[in-house]
Amino acid sequence: MRSFTFSIAYWALSIGYFLVAAFAALAPGRGATTWVIRRYVRRMVQAMALFAGIKLQVRGKERLPQGGFIVASKHQSWGDGFATYDQFDDLAFVTGDHLEKFPLLGTVLKKLGAIVVNSCGGHTARAALKERAADAHKDGRRILIYPEGHLAKVGEKFRYRSGVWHMYRDFNMPVVPLATNLGLFWPQESSRKTPGTATLEFLDPIPTGLPKEDFLARLEAAIEGKTAELIAEATGGPIIAAVQVPTPSEMARMTEPQQAAAA
């Protein structure tokens, strides 16, 4: 019943606010659209608590540096975006172009200043990420990116992509790792919700100047290590390291030769 009630609230809020945001996008500048989306996000976090019984506790905000920085977050749940966006007054976020297939959403994302890139990655996506992230950096906005590029199941992880390092190097900005166990309560895109208290924890910023391999290793160790701790804390179980699995695109490439041989 909780999951069903939240689903009704989710779609009612999403449809209502995005219609308002589409009209707000007609106004000059980002102000009107940002105002609408911030209230949408706040209402969604409230609905998570009220209808799904999922409360949020946020730790480590005192670690956030002054000025511009990049938040690199674990991504286990559709709820991650709402929970994280709600912590900032103005946040540019990196998202896949699959969201643009929804009517009006592409227009709203563009007006909001979201950094929309090709979900499949590659050189074209990297170039688009650099260009659009540069606009956000120029405006002094904080940037949210999910370095794995996909929603991961609890206990699993994907290969960390290098896009976050390119922004870190090009913009000379510190990166704040963000760990979460929200996937325990709202798994991936699932309609099933489990009541409880989910935790988001901002970790110590990674200072600028590290080479690529050192940076990515440090980022992954911080995010995955703390995420495993948060999962163990919520479940009362032991700390278990996440298992790396192939991304959907990597899995597709692995199965292509098998399908060709079968044909």
Domains of the chain: 56-262 (3.40.1130.10)
CA distance 67 to 263: 56
Q: What is the pLDDT of residue 263?
A: 53
Question: How large is the average pLDDT for residues 52-63?
Answer: 96
As given in the structure block, the two tokens for residue 7 are: 């689903």
Strand ranges in 140-250 using DSSP code E only, listed in sequence order: 142-145, 156-157, 175-180, 196-202, 243-244
CA pseudo-torsion sign 74, 64, 142, 182: positive
* pLDDT band with cut points at 50, 70 and 90 for residue 100: low
* pLDDT band with cut points at 50, 70 and 90 for residue 261: low
Give the β-pairing of 142-145 and 70-73: parallel
Residue 102 has pLDDT above 80, yes or no: no
Question: How large is the average pLDDT for residues 188-194?
Answer: 86
Least confident among 72-76, 108-112, 173-177: 108-112
Which residue would you say has higher pLDDT here, 194 or 96?
A: 194
CA distance 228 to 180: 9
Question: How large is the average pLDDT for residues 206-233?
Answer: 97
* pLDDT band with cut points at 50, 70 and 90 for residue 251: confident
Residue with tokens 């996000």: 41
CA distance 206 to 221: 12
Q: What is the pLDDT of residue 262?
A: 54
Which residue would you say has higher pLDDT here, 86 or 188?
A: 86
Closest CA to 243 of 171, 178, 153: 153
Residue 259 has pLDDT above 60, yes or no: no
Residue 75 has φ and ψ, to the nearest 5°, of -135, 100
Residue 123 has pLDDT above 80, yes or no: no
Q: How many CB atoms lie within 10 A of CB 200?
A: 23
CB 22, CB 105: distance < 8 Å = no
Question: How large is the average pLDDT for residues 164-191?
Answer: 92
Residue 121 has pLDDT above 80, yes or no: no
Q: How far is CA 80 from the centre of its chain?
A: 6
Across the chain, what does the average pLDDT equal?
A: 88
As given in the structure block, the two tokens for residue 88 are: 């900032």
- Give buried/exposed letters for 149-184 (b at 16+ CB in 10 A, else e): bbbbebbebbbbbbbbbbbbbebebbbbbbbbbbbb
